[in-house]
Amino acid sequence: MARRPVFVPTSPGDPQLVRVVEVEFEWSPGFSRSQKQKSIASLHEAAAAAGIEPVLEVSTKSTERLGVRLSAFNLGVELSGGEVVSLEAAFQGSKVFEQGGPFEDLYTVSPRDAKRDPRLKESGRLVRFEWDGMTWPLEPKTAFYDWLYLQALRRLDGEAERLLEYEGFTDIEFNPAKSINCQARSCALYVSLRRRNTLGSAMGSPDAFLAELRSPDEGGDEPGVQQSMF
Protein backbone atom coordinates (compact mmCIF):
# COMPACT_ATOMS: atom_id res chain seq x y z
CA MET A 1 0.00 0.00 0.00
CA ALA A 2 1.04 3.59 -0.57
CA ARG A 3 -0.25 7.08 0.19
CA ARG A 4 -0.38 9.91 -2.31
CA PRO A 5 -2.15 13.29 -2.46
CA VAL A 6 -5.16 14.15 -4.59
CA PHE A 7 -5.31 17.89 -5.28
CA VAL A 8 -8.87 19.20 -5.17
CA PRO A 9 -9.94 22.63 -6.47
CA THR A 10 -12.37 24.54 -4.29
CA SER A 11 -15.34 26.79 -4.97
CA PRO A 12 -15.88 30.52 -4.32
CA GLY A 13 -16.36 31.24 -0.64
CA ASP A 14 -13.88 28.61 0.47
CA PRO A 15 -10.85 30.35 2.06
CA GLN A 16 -8.57 27.63 0.66
CA LEU A 17 -7.72 27.53 -3.03
CA VAL A 18 -6.55 23.92 -3.07
CA ARG A 19 -7.50 21.08 -0.76
CA VAL A 20 -5.04 18.20 -0.46
CA VAL A 21 -6.62 14.83 0.28
CA GLU A 22 -4.14 12.06 1.00
CA VAL A 23 -5.47 8.62 0.11
CA GLU A 24 -4.16 5.10 0.58
CA PHE A 25 -4.11 2.77 -2.42
CA GLU A 26 -2.48 -0.38 -3.75
CA TRP A 27 0.92 0.32 -5.30
CA SER A 28 2.07 -1.77 -8.25
CA PRO A 29 5.87 -2.00 -8.08
CA GLY A 30 7.98 -1.55 -11.20
CA PHE A 31 9.00 1.24 -13.54
CA SER A 32 7.11 0.21 -16.67
CA ARG A 33 4.29 2.36 -18.00
CA SER A 34 1.80 -0.46 -17.45
CA GLN A 35 2.74 -0.78 -13.77
CA LYS A 36 2.49 2.98 -13.25
CA GLN A 37 -0.95 2.96 -14.84
CA LYS A 38 -2.09 0.16 -12.51
CA SER A 39 -1.06 2.34 -9.58
CA ILE A 40 -2.89 5.29 -11.10
CA ALA A 41 -6.08 3.25 -11.48
CA SER A 42 -5.86 2.17 -7.84
CA LEU A 43 -5.18 5.73 -6.72
CA HIS A 44 -8.21 7.02 -8.61
CA GLU A 45 -10.41 4.27 -7.18
CA ALA A 46 -9.36 5.38 -3.70
CA ALA A 47 -10.10 9.00 -4.61
CA ALA A 48 -13.57 8.02 -5.81
CA ALA A 49 -14.17 6.19 -2.54
CA ALA A 50 -13.30 9.45 -0.79
CA GLY A 51 -15.90 11.26 -2.90
CA ILE A 52 -13.52 12.79 -5.44
CA GLU A 53 -14.34 12.06 -9.09
CA PRO A 54 -13.61 12.40 -11.90
CA VAL A 55 -9.85 12.67 -11.37
CA LEU A 56 -7.21 13.44 -13.99
CA GLU A 57 -3.69 12.03 -13.78
CA VAL A 58 -1.33 14.76 -14.95
CA SER A 59 1.91 13.11 -16.05
CA THR A 60 3.50 11.32 -18.99
CA LYS A 61 2.11 8.07 -17.50
CA SER A 62 -1.51 9.22 -17.72
CA THR A 63 -3.98 7.07 -19.66
CA GLU A 64 -5.65 10.26 -20.91
CA ARG A 65 -4.19 12.34 -23.70
CA LEU A 66 -4.97 15.55 -21.80
CA GLY A 67 -3.00 14.36 -18.78
CA VAL A 68 0.05 13.57 -20.92
CA ARG A 69 -0.24 16.87 -22.78
CA LEU A 70 -0.24 18.80 -19.50
CA SER A 71 2.91 17.20 -18.15
CA ALA A 72 5.38 19.97 -17.33
CA PHE A 73 7.86 18.31 -19.68
CA ASN A 74 5.43 18.91 -22.57
CA LEU A 75 4.51 22.53 -21.81
CA GLY A 76 6.18 25.76 -22.84
CA VAL A 77 6.21 29.27 -21.38
CA GLU A 78 6.74 32.46 -23.32
CA LEU A 79 9.32 35.13 -22.57
CA SER A 80 8.38 38.77 -23.09
CA GLY A 81 10.36 38.75 -26.34
CA GLY A 82 8.18 36.00 -27.76
CA GLU A 83 10.57 33.07 -27.32
CA VAL A 84 8.95 29.92 -25.97
CA VAL A 85 10.98 27.66 -23.69
CA SER A 86 10.23 24.44 -21.86
CA LEU A 87 8.44 24.98 -18.56
CA GLU A 88 10.87 22.66 -16.76
CA ALA A 89 13.88 24.42 -18.32
CA ALA A 90 12.42 27.81 -17.38
CA PHE A 91 11.96 26.71 -13.77
CA GLN A 92 15.42 25.19 -13.39
CA GLY A 93 17.24 27.95 -15.28
CA SER A 94 15.61 30.68 -13.17
CA LYS A 95 17.00 29.41 -9.88
CA VAL A 96 19.41 31.75 -8.10
CA PHE A 97 21.77 30.27 -5.53
CA GLU A 98 24.27 31.73 -3.12
CA GLN A 99 27.07 30.95 -5.55
CA GLY A 100 25.47 31.26 -8.96
CA GLY A 101 22.44 31.66 -11.18
CA PRO A 102 20.18 32.27 -12.84
CA PHE A 103 21.48 29.79 -15.43
CA GLU A 104 19.61 31.11 -18.43
CA ASP A 105 21.58 28.89 -20.80
CA LEU A 106 19.38 26.06 -19.52
CA TYR A 107 16.40 27.62 -21.29
CA THR A 108 17.65 26.15 -24.57
CA VAL A 109 18.27 22.56 -23.43
CA SER A 110 15.84 19.67 -22.98
CA PRO A 111 13.73 19.50 -19.79
CA ARG A 112 15.61 16.44 -18.55
CA ASP A 113 19.03 17.98 -19.21
CA ALA A 114 17.96 21.17 -17.44
CA LYS A 115 16.80 19.25 -14.37
CA ARG A 116 20.07 17.27 -14.22
CA ASP A 117 22.49 20.17 -14.65
CA PRO A 118 25.18 19.76 -11.93
CA ARG A 119 25.24 23.48 -11.13
CA LEU A 120 21.83 23.12 -9.51
CA LYS A 121 23.42 21.02 -6.78
CA GLU A 122 26.83 22.67 -6.61
CA SER A 123 25.93 26.35 -6.20
CA GLY A 124 24.91 26.46 -2.55
CA ARG A 125 21.59 27.38 -1.02
CA LEU A 126 18.67 28.46 -3.20
CA VAL A 127 17.83 32.11 -2.45
CA ARG A 128 15.28 33.24 -5.09
CA PHE A 129 14.10 32.93 -8.70
CA GLU A 130 14.70 35.37 -11.55
CA TRP A 131 12.60 35.03 -14.69
CA ASP A 132 12.04 37.45 -17.57
CA GLY A 133 13.01 40.52 -15.53
CA MET A 134 10.96 39.47 -12.50
CA THR A 135 12.26 38.38 -9.10
CA TRP A 136 10.35 35.75 -7.14
CA PRO A 137 10.76 34.92 -3.43
CA LEU A 138 10.94 31.37 -2.10
CA GLU A 139 7.71 31.81 -0.14
CA PRO A 140 5.00 30.73 -0.73
CA LYS A 141 6.97 27.62 -1.66
CA THR A 142 5.12 26.70 -4.86
CA ALA A 143 4.26 30.21 -6.07
CA PHE A 144 6.86 30.60 -8.83
CA TYR A 145 6.29 27.11 -10.23
CA ASP A 146 2.51 27.65 -10.14
CA TRP A 147 2.93 30.96 -11.96
CA LEU A 148 4.95 29.35 -14.76
CA TYR A 149 2.53 26.45 -15.05
CA LEU A 150 -0.53 28.70 -15.23
CA GLN A 151 1.20 30.86 -17.83
CA ALA A 152 1.76 27.71 -19.87
CA LEU A 153 -1.88 26.67 -19.49
CA ARG A 154 -3.10 30.03 -20.72
CA ARG A 155 -1.32 29.38 -24.03
CA LEU A 156 -3.39 26.22 -24.60
CA ASP A 157 -6.89 27.73 -24.61
CA GLY A 158 -9.30 24.83 -25.29
CA GLU A 159 -7.14 22.13 -23.73
CA ALA A 160 -6.83 24.03 -20.46
CA GLU A 161 -10.57 24.63 -20.49
CA ARG A 162 -11.13 20.88 -20.16
CA LEU A 163 -9.60 20.95 -16.68
CA LEU A 164 -12.89 22.39 -15.45
CA GLU A 165 -14.46 18.97 -16.04
CA TYR A 166 -12.45 17.40 -13.20
CA GLU A 167 -12.84 17.42 -9.42
CA GLY A 168 -9.33 16.25 -8.58
CA PHE A 169 -5.82 15.90 -10.00
CA THR A 170 -2.98 13.48 -9.33
CA ASP A 171 0.64 12.91 -10.36
CA ILE A 172 1.76 9.35 -9.69
CA GLU A 173 5.43 10.43 -9.79
CA PHE A 174 4.98 13.10 -7.13
CA ASN A 175 6.12 12.19 -3.63
CA PRO A 176 5.54 15.03 -1.12
CA ALA A 177 8.30 13.62 1.07
CA LYS A 178 10.81 14.36 -1.68
CA SER A 179 9.37 17.25 -3.71
CA ILE A 180 7.47 20.50 -3.27
CA ASN A 181 6.16 21.52 -6.68
CA CYS A 182 3.54 19.42 -8.44
CA GLN A 183 1.86 19.88 -11.81
CA ALA A 184 -1.35 18.28 -10.50
CA ARG A 185 -1.53 20.88 -7.73
CA SER A 186 -1.06 23.65 -10.30
CA CYS A 187 -3.99 22.26 -12.30
CA ALA A 188 -6.21 22.34 -9.21
CA LEU A 189 -5.15 25.94 -8.57
CA TYR A 190 -6.04 26.86 -12.17
CA VAL A 191 -9.55 25.44 -11.74
CA SER A 192 -10.05 27.23 -8.42
CA LEU A 193 -9.06 30.58 -9.90
CA ARG A 194 -11.31 30.00 -12.91
CA ARG A 195 -14.23 29.20 -10.62
CA ARG A 196 -13.63 32.48 -8.81
CA ASN A 197 -13.19 34.45 -12.07
CA THR A 198 -9.86 35.75 -10.73
CA LEU A 199 -7.40 34.02 -13.05
CA GLY A 200 -6.93 37.03 -15.32
CA SER A 201 -6.37 39.51 -12.50
CA ALA A 202 -4.12 37.11 -10.59
CA MET A 203 -1.89 36.61 -13.61
CA GLY A 204 -1.57 40.35 -14.16
CA SER A 205 1.63 40.59 -12.12
CA PRO A 206 3.69 38.62 -9.62
CA ASP A 207 2.39 40.84 -6.80
CA ALA A 208 -1.22 40.21 -7.82
CA PHE A 209 -0.58 36.47 -8.02
CA LEU A 210 1.06 36.34 -4.59
CA ALA A 211 -1.80 38.35 -3.11
CA GLU A 212 -4.31 35.88 -4.58
CA LEU A 213 -2.48 32.95 -3.02
CA ARG A 214 -2.59 34.41 0.47
CA SER A 215 -5.45 32.86 2.36
CA PRO A 216 -7.39 34.33 5.33
CA ASP A 217 -6.83 30.96 7.01
CA GLU A 218 -3.32 31.01 8.47
CA GLY A 219 -3.59 27.55 9.98
CA GLY A 220 -1.84 25.58 7.22
CA ASP A 221 1.81 25.31 6.21
CA GLU A 222 1.10 26.61 2.74
CA PRO A 223 -1.10 29.61 1.89
CA GLY A 224 -4.24 28.56 0.07
CA VAL A 225 -3.83 24.85 0.87
CA GLN A 226 -5.74 22.62 3.25
CA GLN A 227 -4.89 18.97 3.86
CA SER A 228 -6.93 16.00 4.98
CA MET A 229 -6.47 12.21 4.91
CA PHE A 230 -8.54 9.18 3.94
Q: What is the pLDDT along the chain (230 residues), one digit of tens a residue?
A: 999 999 999 999 999 999 999 999 999 999 899 999 999 999 999 999 999 999 999 999 999 999 999 999 999 999 999 999 999 999 999 999 999 999 999 999 999 999 999 999 999 999 999 999 999 999 999 999 999 999 999 999 789 999 999 999 999 999 999 999 999 999 999 999 999 999 999 999 999 999 999 854 433 444 455 555 55
- The C-alpha atoms of residue 61 and residue 78 are separated, in whole angstroms, by 26
Which of 68, 61, 41, 39 minimizes the C-alpha distance to 53? 41
- The C-alpha atoms of residue 197 and residue 193 are separated, in whole angstroms, by 6
Domain boundaries, given as residue ranges, for the chain: 2-73+148-229, 81-131
Measured from the Cβ of residue 54, the count of other Cβ atoms closer than 10 Å reads 12
Q: What is the 3-state secondary structure (H, E, C) of 21-78?
A: EEEEECCCCCCCHHHHHHHHHHHHHHHHHCCCCCEEECCCCCCCHHHHHCCHHHCEEE
For the entire predicted model, the pTM comes to 0.91
